[in-house]
Amino acid sequence: NAGVTQTPKFRILKIGQSMTLQCTQDMNHNYMYWYRQDPGMGLKLIYYSVGAGITDKGEVPNGYNVSRSTTEDFPLRLELAAPSQTSVYFCASRDQGALSEQYFGPGTRLTVT
């Protein structure tokens, strides 16, 4: 199993450009999450989904959008990139149950200049 995969690994955007970060999991997990990681700040939840067609905001959703049309995919959209969105983005998924482990992808390092 590939687990959680993310593409691209690295990306440089100019201010105002748009892009989609891709996330796919092959574990048939209902729950999926997007986090951003900034130095010294830990991980902050951007958006999450509890199943196909259901998404909700996390702690830091401004400037991002998500969709969940299938169980496997959970893309994150940046519409108008800003320097404040320079970060490392992680996607994660987990099975049912509060104690289920979250499985993380390898991350996407995004720089907005």
Residues near another protein (CB under 8 A):
4, 31, 33, 35, 40-45, 48, 50, 56, 58, 90, 92, 94, 97-102, 104-107
> Smallest distance from the beta carbon of 14 to another protein, in angstroms?
24
**What single letter denotes the amino acid at residue 19?**
M
> Smallest distance from the beta carbon of 109 to another protein, in angstroms?
9
> How far, in Å, CA of 111 to CA of 113, rounded?
6
Closest CA to 37 of 109, 100, 95: 109
> How far, in Å, CA of 64 to CA of 79, rounded?
7
> Smallest distance from the beta carbon of 89 to another protein, in angstroms?
11
Q: Which is nearer to another protein, 15 or 54 (CB)?
A: 54
